[in-house]
Amino acid sequence: MENIDDLISRLAQDGQTVKSAPHPFVLSLKWMGVALIYLVVSLAISGVRPDWADKLQNPLFATEIAALLAVFATTTFAAALLVFPDIHQKGRLAFAPLASFMLFVLAMYLSWQSDVPPASLPVHGIECTLGITVMALLPSIWTFYFMRNYASTHCRLAGSVALLSSFSIGALWLRLYEVNDSILHVIEWHYLPMLVIGIIGLLLGKKILKW
């Protein structure tokens, strides 16, 4: 009996205190804070479009930026929820990005309808998609790295919203940097690639976040 008591005592002394995981809301705020700092620094390096102040006075452009920020915020929050095995018992909130995407689509539809006569298309196309993707690489890497520290049981969905969150940061950067008023171009080369990014996120989530 004494040996068992000694063993229990030693195990208790050797045990390490497990730090409780932060609330998903706090976790998502941390991730959003880092991403927004990255966005500000990137804009400070690349510069912003010279007409940015005037563009933000345009209700449609301001609504587009606000809707894109909502997509970024909801996908980041959903990613923070989905890293927990039980989604922190807030399963419905994990689908909040659907609502923000619907609002975003509506905002872009209104901008497209108001683009009369249509603004001239820029000479470039896929370069915008590539630029957004490059900007999204670093946020994607650190988001997946931090998500690996948890135990998601919804790896595919978690990977998809995480990649969409990072792509949203890249899209925000390009929209605030590039002098471009063609809504058709923006929809085609800035935002439609999100569909492909979401699918890639499903594949990466299964590969990287599975445990």
At 43-60, the pLDDT tens digits run: 999 999 999 889 999 999
Between 49 and 118, residue with greater pLDDT: 49
CA distance 97 to 77: 9
Across the chain, what does the average pLDDT equal?
A: 89
CA distance 2 to 99: 62
Quick one: pLDDT at residue 10? 61
* pLDDT single digits (tens) 127-145: 999 999 999 999 999 999 9
CA distance 84 to 147: 9
| Domain coordinates in residue numbering, the chain | 22-83+92-113+122-208
pTM of the model: 0.87
pLDDT confidence band for 1 (50 / 70 / 90): very low
**What amino acid occupies position 209?**
L
pLDDT confidence band for 29 (50 / 70 / 90): very high
Q: Which residues contact 87 (CB under 8 A, 6 or more apart)?
A: 81, 94, 154
